[in-house]
Structure 1
């Protein structure tokens, strides 16, 4: 029963619904399970807070959990 957490800057509610549906569909197909077993949350992050709220704790401090590295370096 996977749970997906998306942290994102400045997206509309409509875009969030599209993102949630696409990620749910992809994970469902990849794992061969019903979308009913998948939950997903989207957390809004202010652009000015990205370094402290996301980049440092999620990317720098948890490299073993990172399966897709960002193509940017804000440092």
Structure 2
């Protein structure tokens, strides 16, 4: 029963968000063998000016050693 939480910088349309949710669901079905009926996907819009404070510092930075994909940006380059 996968539940995915995707945090995105604001600005994506509802169509794009639905496409992302559908693609993540399909990947979980195809790769992980999940039942599509048991997959849920949440998408949270985050203002880029709040990214460091709300996403990078509390979520990404502490998890860096275990991330399967690390961000390609430096936190000091994010807007404040």
TM-score normalised to the size of structure 2?
A: 0.85
- Structure 2 distance, partners of 1:6, 1:65, is 17
- Structure 2 distance, partners of 1:74, 1:33, is 34
Deviation at 1:63, TM superposition (A): 2.5
TM-score normalised to the size of structure 1?
A: 0.91
Partner of 2:4: 4
| Matched ranges for 1:40-55 at <5 A | 40-55=41-56
- 5+ residue gaps in structure 2? none
Deviation at 1:74, TM superposition (A): 2.4
| Matched ranges for 1:53-72 at <5 A | 53-72=54-73
Q: 4+ runs of 1 displaced by more than 3 Å?
A: none
SS at match of 2:22: helix
CA RMSD, 1 decimal:
1.2
- 5+ residue gaps in structure 1? none
- Structure 2 distance, partners of 1:65, 1:44, is 24
